[in-house]
């Protein structure tokens, strides 16, 4: 028998899951995670240990209901352009269709972002034959604004290859900026109405401090690393992300979906395991942070488990920092 979901416990234990993108569809919570394989692969800075090949979808009728695993909804072998590493996905609903966005390496080893569709939020998803033209790097997060415009946020350093796109084309030897230079920002592109293409070339998002100065590459407690998420609260756009090397989930806010975003603070202190990745969703009048850690596997970087906890705002709109282990 399936057990009920509980805060700060793995949502499921029969498979390893990571990088949760949570959404409310059809009145239920749907979680679109990566599927970590139960394989022992040595860790390196390129993320070669994250050898994922397929995706499952999870859902919950309520925040304390049993969790349903809808099984495999997309496999690498069904996507003609993919060679390996199906990393952090996201999903969106528009045009009576569910869109599933996923990064993976193409046949040249370059990360691109693909899209697959389904009439059902639980999939299975049918992939488009090629990746989204003009896409690169990893960790797509799709946000649909109140006016119906859809934006994709994406990008990740190191194994996510964002450093290699600074000139607009892929340079395998490119390095990131030095410590006192502005950090690389995530990218944003508005999507076309059919949700299958970029309407415009992706642009870099600026993240600045309270004085309007760009966060620098050496400011590893605050600079963007990977895993963007965008949500709206009280008329402000909240861009949250992982700081990678310092293992925080932090956020910055703006009045404009494309920024610039002003850094505000920490959402989640470091979890067990190297990566930290999250999403934020409102469900039945409360806000939740979905995140992952490697506690179930005893700390193995590439064997992670998705969890959730309640997220609380202060009256001034700032977010209360969460300590994952109390």
Which residues bind to ligand FUB, rule: CB under 6 A? 18-19, 34, 47, 50, 87-88, 138-139, 156, 226-227, 275, 277
Distances (CA, A) of 171 to 108, 162, 166, 176, 326: 13, 10, 8, 11, 43
Question: By C-alpha distance, which of 197, 38, 214, 76 is closest to 132?
Answer: 197
Distances (CA, A) of 20 to 31, 44, 210, 275, 293: 6, 22, 30, 12, 11
C-beta of 279: minimal distance to ligand FUB in Å? 11
> Do residues 117 and 167 lie in contact, with contact meaning Cβ atoms separated by under 8 Å?
no
Which is catalytic among the residues 19, 36, 219, 301? Answer: 19
C-beta of 60: minimal distance to ligand FUB in Å? 22
Neighbours of 298 (CB within 10 A): 8
Q: For residues 52 and 67, which CB has a smaller minimum distance to ligand FUB in the complex?
A: 52
Which is catalytic among the residues 36, 226, 293, 301? Answer: 226
Is 293 tagged catalytic?
no
Classify residue 51 by its DSSP letter: -
C-beta of 50: minimal distance to ligand FUB in Å? 4
Distance CA 19, CA 290 (A): 9
**Position of tokens 């395998």?**
172
Q: For residues 138 and 262, which CB has a smaller minimum distance to ligand FUB in the complex?
A: 138
C-beta of 107: minimal distance to ligand FUB in Å? 19
C-beta of 295: minimal distance to ligand FUB in Å? 15
Is 62 tagged catalytic?
no
In order, the DSSP letters of 223-271 are: S--EEEEEEEETTEEEEEEE-GGG--EEEEEESSTT--EEEEEEEE---
Distance CA 70, CA 59 (A): 8
Query: Residue 213: is it exposed, middle or buried by C-beta count within 10 angstroms (0-12/13-18/19+)?
Result: exposed
Tell me which residues are annotated as active site: 19, 226
């Amino acid at each position: 028998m399936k057990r009920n979901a509980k805060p700060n416990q793995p949502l499921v234990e029969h498979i390893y899951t990571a990088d949760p993108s949570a959404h409310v569809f059809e009145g239920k919570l749907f979680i679109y995670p990566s599927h970590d394989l139960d394989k022992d692969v040595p860790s390196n800075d390129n993320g070669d240990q994250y050898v994922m090949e397929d995706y499952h979808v999870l859902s919950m009728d309520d925040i304390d209901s049993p969790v349903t695993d809808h099984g495999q909804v997309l496999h690498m072998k069904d996507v003609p352009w993919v060679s390996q590493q199906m990393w952090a996905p996201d999903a969106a609903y528009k045009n009576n269709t569910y869109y599933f966005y996923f990064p993976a390496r193409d046949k040249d080893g370059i990360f691109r972002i693909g899209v697959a569709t389904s009439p059902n939020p639980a999939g299975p998803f049918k992939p488009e034959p090629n990746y989204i033209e003009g896409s690169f790097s990893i960790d797509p997060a799709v946000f649909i604004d109140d006016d119906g415009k859809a934006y994709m946020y994406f990008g990740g350093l190191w194994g996510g290859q964002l450093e290699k796109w600074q000139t607009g084309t892929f340079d395998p030897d490119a390095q990131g900026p030095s410590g006192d230079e502005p950090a690389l920002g995530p990218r944003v592109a508005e999507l076309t109405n059919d949700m299958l293409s970029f309407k415009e070339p992706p642009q870099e998002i600026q993240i600045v401090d309270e004085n309007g100065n760009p966060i620098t590459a050496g400011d590893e407690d605050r600079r963007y690393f990977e895993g963007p998420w965008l949500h709206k609260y009280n008329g402000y756009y909240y861009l949250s992300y992982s700081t990678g090397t310092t293992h925080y989930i932090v956020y910055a806010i703006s009045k404009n979906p494309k920024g610039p975003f002003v850094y505000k603070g920490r959402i989640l202190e470091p979890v067990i395991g190297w990566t930290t990745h999250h999403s934020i969703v409102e469900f039945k009048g409360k806000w939740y942070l979905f995140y992952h850690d490697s506690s179930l596997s005893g700390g193995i970087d590439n064997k992670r488990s998705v969890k959730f906890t309640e997220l609380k705002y202060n009256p001034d709109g700032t977010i209360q920092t969460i300590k994952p282990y109390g």
